[in-house]
């Protein structure tokens, strides 16, 4: 098979993997069943979600380093096994809060961490000519997967109950992620698509190309990216983790509030593709600036958007679209600023910001609601931080040659 054709097969396999990994973003559909069946508090439900996100981000540093050394295939297979077994094991822990933290949060989160970096790293290497667009496509499944699994999980919970739903999802993950992982193969060393060689030569003007992770950490650009990602991801994750209960709190029927989760997921996936494409045209940091401004505006307005299914749907689409953009823009910017040779571990370090956001965002939203009975004092500070991120994006430039 021609390499020009095979690289698109890699993208399809990457999408399938990311669809399954993105099931974690459907978590808000589990909140009410956990509270009703297991008598969990809102904070407890968000702790499980946050542990999964934090484990995902921490493990991705190790996974990135491994895939840089041994290639993405074996690392992605490991991720599929851990993700599937984590959810299957959740079937047998009953209402145990520590048990769900271990199975869904730690084991499942580790599976996402091992699986997530591999499609990104492989696709970036196969598509140096369409880096922003293809990164967006590669991770679009993660956002769209939340919509698919939100519908599926809601239906399964009603028909077979919570424990059996966890087991069913685990089996799906094993059967989908592992076969797709066998297609996570890097291009041959030095390979480029037709017509791209001259562009590659012209671009090698900076000694910041292909920085090792320890040198990258010494640059101010890394820390600017890290802070921006933290602020932007925290806002999105706060909404994702609390969206359905926020809709119910606002007076909407559970079915209407639940539909907002699907809307957010679809626009999350679309945002990854569109922001990635836009950044190829307008530049990464300009795209980041616009994205953070738009997200900040909505977070400030969000507390008023739950009054009807229409306004909550608009807010969900808006937040999902801009949140999704983070996952196209930041890996692309990491490759632009620091090269593709060590993209696995370099983006793994940038992605630790997501782990911090995963703890800060959902738990803050849940805790503030438990204490005050309102989400307002969580949404407004998040909006302000998004606007701060927009300001940082304005002053963030590619490292200069030394």
Q: How far apart are the C-alpha atoms of 51 and 43, rounded to whole Å? A: 12
Domain assignment present for residue 293? The answer is yes
Residue 152: is it exposed, middle or buried by C-beta count within 10 angstroms (0-12/13-18/19+)?
middle
Per the structure block, which two tokens stand in for 293? Answer: 């401004």
Number of domains within the chain: 1
User: For residue 327, is pLDDT > 60?
Assistant: yes
CB 398 within 8 A of CB 206: yes
The full length of the chain comes to: 402
Q: Give the structural domain span for 333.
A: 11-183+207-395
CB 228 within 8 A of CB 288: yes
Confidence band of 197 (pLDDT split at 50, 70, 90):
low
**Could you give the percent of the chain with pLDDT greater than 70?**
96
Confidence band of 354 (pLDDT split at 50, 70, 90):
confident
pLDDT, the chain, mean: 89
Residue 95 backbone dihedrals phi, psi, to 5 degrees: -90, 10
Domain assignment present for residue 321? The answer is yes
Name the more confident of 338 and 369: 338
Helices (H), 190-283: 197-203, 213-216, 220-249, 254-282
How large is the average pLDDT for residues 280-294?
94
CB 397 within 8 A of CB 285: yes
Domain assignment present for residue 35? The answer is yes
CATH number at residue 280: 1.20.1250.20
Domain assignment present for residue 400? The answer is no
Name the more confident of 226 and 365: 226
Query: Tokens 């738009």 label which residue?
Result: 294
Name the more confident of 204 and 350: 350
pTM above threshold 0.85? no
User: For residue 216, is pLDDT > 80?
Assistant: yes
Angle at CA 14, nearest 5°, toward 9 and 17?
130
Residues 6+ apart with CB under 8 A from 139: 18, 119, 120, 272, 327, 328, 331
- Axis-axis angle for helices 162-181, 28-38 (nearest 10): 150
Domain assignment present for residue 195? The answer is no
Domain assignment present for residue 194? The answer is no
Domain assignment present for residue 278? The answer is yes
How large is the average pLDDT for residues 102-113?
97
pLDDT digits (tens, 9 = 90+) for 365-397: 888 888 888 888 888 989 999 999 999 999 999
**Pick from 12, 13, 53, 25: which is nearest to 363 by CA?**
53
> Which DSSP string do the residues of 36-63 spell out, in sequence order?
HHH---HHHHHHHHHHHHHHHHHHHHHH
Dihedral sign (CA 38, 169, 273, 76): positive
Domain assignment present for residue 5? The answer is no
């Amino acid at each position: 098979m021609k390499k020009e054709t095979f690289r698109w097969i890699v993208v399809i396999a990457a999408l399938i993997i990311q669809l399954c990994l993105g099931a974690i973003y459907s978590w808000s559909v589990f909140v009410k069943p956990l509270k009703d069946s297991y008598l969990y508090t809102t904070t407890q439900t968000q702790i499980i979600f946050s542990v999964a996100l934090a484990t995902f981000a921490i493990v991705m540093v190790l996974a990135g380093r491994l895939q840089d050394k041994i290639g993405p295939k074996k690392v992605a297979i490991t991720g599929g096994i851990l993700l599937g077994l984590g959810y299957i094991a959740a079937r047998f822990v009953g209402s145990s809060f520590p048990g769900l933290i271990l199975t869904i949060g730690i084991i499942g989160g580790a599976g996402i961490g091992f699986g997530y970096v591999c499609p990104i790293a492989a696709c970036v290497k196969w598509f140096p000519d369409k880096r922003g667009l293809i990164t967006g496509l590669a991770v679009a499944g993660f956002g769209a997967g939340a919509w698919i699994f939100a519908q599926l999980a809601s239906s399964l919970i009603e028909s077979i109950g919570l424990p059996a739903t966890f087991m069913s999802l685990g089996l799906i993950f094993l059967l989908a992620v592992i076969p797709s992982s066998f297609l996570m193969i890097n291009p041959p060393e030095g390979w480029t698509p037709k017509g791209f060689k001259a562009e590659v030569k012209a671009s090698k003007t900076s000694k910041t190309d292909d920085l090792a992770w320890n040198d990258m950490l010494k640059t101010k650009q890394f820390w600017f990216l890290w802070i921006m990602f933290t602020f932007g991801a925290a806002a999105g994750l706060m909404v994702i983790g609390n969206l359905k209960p926020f809709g119910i709190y606002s007076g909407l029927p559970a079915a209407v509030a639940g539909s907002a989760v699907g809307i957010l997921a679809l626009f999350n996936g679309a945002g990854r593709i569109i922001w990635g494409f836009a950044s190829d045209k307008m530049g990464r940091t300009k795209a980041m600036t616009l994205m953070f401004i738009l997200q900040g505006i909505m977070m400030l307005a969000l507390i008023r958007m739950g009054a009807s299914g229409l306004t909550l749907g608009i807010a969900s689409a808006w937040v999902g679209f801009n949140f999704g953009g983070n996952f196209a823009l930041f890996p692309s910017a990491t490759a632009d600023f620091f090269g593709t040779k060590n993209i696995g571990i370099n983006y793994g370090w940038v992605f630790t910001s997501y782990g911090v956001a995963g703890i800060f965002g959902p738990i803050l939203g849940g805790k503030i609601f438990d204490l005050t009975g309102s989400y307002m004092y969580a949404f407004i500070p998040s909006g302000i931080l998004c606007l701060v991120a927009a300001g940082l994006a304005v002053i963030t430039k590619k490292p200069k040659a030394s």
